[in-house]
Amino acid sequence: MLKEFRDFAIKGNVLDMAVGIIIGTAFGTIVKSLVSDVLMPPLGMLVGNVDFSELFIVLKSGSKFAGPYTNLKEASAAGAVTLNYGLFINSVVPHNFLKINK
């Protein structure tokens, strides 16, 4: 496998790969601008400043004190087992996508 990589690098494909990475980075910047500057403002107005970071489901109450828990920090402090689907949504969808630029 190392020999194959060395042959790949010697053929000049490394330069092609570097150009591809640079173009990919530039394309990523374009997509980020499209999302934050074009798509985000109207969607942000429709959604209305929703904060997904506090969306969770309690799978098991905490050992320190029982629920209901008003926020994720409180549930974590109680030692509750939670399914944090809101944090997952924030990871999948860029955070700036949900905020309205002012």
**Domain containing 76: what range?**
2-98
pTM of the model: 0.46
Number of domains in the chain: 1
The answer to whether 40 and 101 are in contact (CB under 8 A) is: yes
Total length of the chain:
102
Q: State the Cα–Cα distance between residues 57 and 68, nearest whole angstrom.
A: 11
Q: What tens digit of pLDDT does each residue of 35-82 get? A: 667 766 666 567 666 666 778 888 888 888 777 888 888 888 888 888
Residue spans of beta strands (DSSP E) within the chain: 57-60, 81-83
